[in-house]
Amino acid sequence: MLVSGLEVAGIGCLNKSNAGLLCWVDMRHLLSSNTFEAEMEFRKRIVYDVKLNISAGSSCHCTEPGWFRVCFANMSEETLRVAMQRMKVFVESISHVCSQSNHQALNNSRRQRPLTKWVFRLPFQHDREPEGR
């Protein structure tokens, strides 16, 4: 439901998993520039304007701006549906600011961008050594 809801809004996800409580979301194409400052500004807009709490990838040690972590644990289907609708309206409002040709160019560049190497370096619980206390 989360992935399909974001796809309707024009946002892709890292869907290399089949279970979990969070999703890595690719919003690189929505940043004003390819910087971590633009990522944090975009996150603030989502938190304060859209009223959704997401984590910037940089706060999770992501090495490329524009990736966000969306947690959907402890959320009803109705709440998730409302959140996806808010996100869709927000993305559409950004799209209207851009001209149609610029928006198409952004979408094309998003589709052509491969997953970056940081995605494949994400640690998994079973890969970690137990910490000594």
pLDDT at 97: 64
39-76 confidence digits (pLDDT tens): 999 999 999 999 999 999 999 889 999 999 888 888 88
Helix (H) or strand (E) holding 71: strand 67-71
Phi, psi of 18 (to 5 degrees): -125, 10
Q: Where are the chain's structural domains?
A: 2-115
Which two three-digit tokens encode residue 18?
A: 């089949």
Percent of the chain whose predicted confidence (pLDDT) is above 70: 67
What's the mean per-residue pLDDT of the chain?
Answer: 76
Closest of 28, 31, 55, 38 to residue 116, by C-alpha:
28
**What is 2-115's CATH topology?**
Aspartate Aminotransferase, domain 1 (3.90.1150)
Q: What is the number of other CB atoms lying within 10 angstroms of the CB of residue 87?
A: 23
> Which residues face 22 on adjacent strands?
71
